[in-house]
Chain A
Amino acid sequence: MPKIRLDGLVKRYGAVEVLHNIDLTMEENEFTVLVGPSGCGKSTTLRMLAGLDIVSEGEIYMDDRPISRLEPKDRDLAMVFQDYALYPHMNVARNMSFALRLQKRPKEEIDLKVREVAKILGLTEYLNRKPGELSGGQRQRVAMGRALTRDAGTFLFDEPLSNLDAKLRGQMRAELALMRQRVQKNMVYVTHDQVEAMTLADRIVVMHGGYIQQQGTPEELFKRPVNKFVAGFLGSPPMNFMDVTLEETGEKFFARGDGFRIALPGRLADRARRVGQSELTMGIRPSDLNFDAAAPDSEAMDLRVSISEYIGAQSVLICKCGEATVTVEVKSETPIALGETLRFAVRPEGIQLFDKKTEDAL
């Protein structure tokens, strides 16, 4: 299964450049997820990889073979579309076997392959139905089946789950993860849903405004975001951001904000000293704040709870800290009363600092 390399990829529509100089390498058999808000260029990147959109500049390599001028059919890929893109006039079996029939493979081989894939996806009893007679989840499965029957080297997914309802989406996500274990192929997956990205990906590529913001394993991106956008995009509920002023007291650095003054851990203090700016943005994930009435002043924030959202085992508290709004994730059994001001300890490893102007992480 080929290694895919995007080299300086640019996409322009007329005079408007929507993708700027995308460099990206996807290793063999890697599950790569392109994630970002709508309009960030993730779908365009995928469509250029598929050959459905023309590359304005740059090159795509598959195992060092340039493919950006090849027809989609010559790129050895299969694709699953957001709206499934099934052929409405063909039944499920014919939808799944279309590519093989075009290749004029022997009929027995096609039948065997279709039945095998249908069995994996639980579609055996629907083989004679037309797409119009199937539910959304079944259609999604047929679309997946069509890609699997193809037996291509690379699988492309363009927001395949976003037309499904929440419950079905969770179920299909799990099935995708299972399929992923069984089928060792390159997979490139586009989504705007960071949960899908985090759960499925070997490598996440976060895009924004036509640029790659950061790429790496889900854990890397979650723990060490390179800028405020990535930090705020990944993780649910999203990271809290607060304006802080750096203060140096003796050997120690403190981040002073509206109603708190927190000591910075050594590594951050070093970096803050090097930057030499005093006005910064501090980021703390809701899970890095722990209810602890006994925490010392320099490691805690006092928050007034205004809303408590009960989710089950966890509750999300929306609190006020001066003028800023801060979300906190706590165990549901934590004794909380609305309107109360409580003390939350800040996990020092969880603190992130960002340049106010460039929004880059320190």
Chain B
Amino acid sequence: MSSQSFNRLTPYLFMAPAAIIMAIALFYPLLYMVFGSFRSWDPSQSLSETEFVGLANYIKLLGDEAFRESVSVTLTFAGTVVVAEMFIGVGLALMLDRNIRGMSLLRTLFILPMMIAPVVVGLVWRFMYHPTDGIFNRWLTQLGLPRVDWLGDHALMSVIIADIWQWTPFIFILSLAALQSLPRSALEAARIDGATGWQQIIHIKLPLMAPVLIVTCLLRLIDAFKVLEVILVMTEGGPGLSTEILALRISRTAQEFRELGEAAAMSNYLLLLLMVLTLGMFTFTRWQEARAQQLNKVKQEEG
């Protein structure tokens, strides 16, 4: 081999270990799952012993009341938390984007929930929601108000609150970064043009932050669809199916109901949903880049 062609191969050689690990760790389980979803598969069988059933698992799921309930819970959960987190996170960022003494400490405090392990978050909130000893009900009793059955009648709301507490900081820090990179002079120009604080937010800040906000929102949505640990620790999906999100349903189908094929099919439905979201995000960033390129071209031409 000539030294020149060897040189050309060098980068691929360096990338090979990572590529191989990636293939084994990512594509092998993925293909295994897709393959398994077309088969009737009990955990006691190895995959080669299983029977091919075509789309039966997928079709069965479409008619399955519990699966449909789980999808609806997942959509309600993801939709509610992302909307609430966007509002609170962006709102906080708009409020805290200023130079006040001690602001850096405050910002750090805001980010703390995101750094705690999800299992710990689940446990902490479970204790706080405890019907008699939890801090919320103790407060309510002290104020002379009736207790709330947090993890019973209002389980979905309670897990939503916990998720908002944990993940709002994510949106907060990204929005704050976006805000602080806005062109200062454009905001000053708006002040001189007569914009009040609200008008600056609506007409200048939010439109200029939009690209960051859209990507942040999609990232959070993708994450919210995959949530598992916090809910598993807090409610285990109950009571009934009221907080059984898809990830939990999948793990129960595989472990309790011993229907690996069905669980695989369910995972693929979730995967499809996430792919649509990811593609949406991808298209959006591509569109943005294309637009930026076009603008640059115009600028260069007129130079």
Contact = CB atoms under 8 A, between A and B. Distances in A.
A87 B195 contact: no
A151 B207 CA distance: 26
A104 B193 CA distance: 13
A135 B302 contact: yes
User: Per DSSP, are chain B's interface residues mostly helix, strand or loop, or mixed?
Assistant: helix
Given A102-B195, A102-B199, A85 B299 contact: no
A324 interface: no
B7 interface: no
A77 B192 contact: yes
A72 interface: yes
B192 A79 contact: yes
Contact of B192 (A78, A89, A132): A78
Interface in B179-202: 183, 185-186, 188-196, 199
A353 B195 CA distance: 52
A301 to B, nearest CB: 47
Contacts, number: 73
A229 interface: no
Contacts of A133: 295, 298-299
Nearest to B184: A85
B203 interface: yes
Contacts of A85: 183, 185-186, 188-189
Contacts of A51: 191-192
A171 to B, nearest CB: 15
B204 interface: yes
Contacts of A71: 191
A73 B207 contact: no
B192 A88 contact: no
B192 A73 contact: yes
Contact of A88 (B186, B196, B299): B186
Contacts of B190: 87, 98
Interface in A40-62: 50-52
A83 interface: yes
A130 to B, nearest CB: 8
Among B188, B190, B194, B295, the one with the most A-chain Cβ atoms within 10 Å of its Cβ is B194
B208 interface: yes
Interface in A131-172: 132-135, 138, 146, 150
A129 to B, nearest CB: 9
Contacts of B195: 73, 98, 102
B207 A89 contact: yes
A72 B192 contact: yes
Contacts of B194: 73, 99, 102-103
B146 interface: no
Among B188, B191, B199, B299, the one with the most A-chain Cβ atoms within 10 Å of its Cβ is B188
A78 B189 CA distance: 9
Interface string B286-298: 0000000001001
Range for the number of chain B residues in contact with chain A: 20 to 34
A52 B191 contact: yes
B299 A86 contact: no
B193 A98 contact: yes
Range for the number of chain A residues in contact with chain B: 20 to 34
Contacts of A87: 186, 189-190, 203-204
A222 interface: no
B303 interface: yes
Contact of A135 (B192, B193, B207, B299): B299
Among B189, B203, B207, the one with the most A-chain Cβ atoms within 10 Å of its Cβ is B189
Contacts of B303: 135
A81 interface: yes
Contacts of B295: 130, 132-133
Contacts of B191: 51-52, 71-73
B299 A132 contact: yes
Nearest to B196: A73
B188 A81 contact: yes
Interface string B235-269: 00000000000000000000000000000000000
A89 B199 contact: no
A87 B182 CA distance: 11
A103 B189 CA distance: 15
B12 to A, nearest CB: 38
Contacts of B203: 87, 98, 102
B78 to A, nearest CB: 29
A81 B183 CA distance: 12
Contacts of A102: 193-195, 199, 203
A329 B108 CA distance: 63
B189 A79 contact: yes
Nearest to A147: B192
Interface string A234-274: 00000000000000000000000000000000000000000
Given A83-B185, A102-B194, A132-B298, 10 more contacts: A50-B192, A72-B192, A73-B191, A79-B189, A84-B185, A85-B188, A87-B186, A98-B195, A130-B295, A135-B299
16 contacts: A52-B192, A72-B192, A73-B191, A73-B194, A73-B195, A79-B188, A81-B185, A83-B185, A85-B183, A85-B186, A87-B190, A88-B183, A98-B190, A98-B195, A102-B199, A132-B299
Interface of A: 50-52, 71-73, 77-79, 81-89, 98-99, 102-103, 130, 132-135, 138, 146, 150
**A-B pairs with lowest CB-CB distance, top 7:** A85-B185, A73-B194, A99-B193, A85-B189, A135-B302, A132-B295, A89-B207
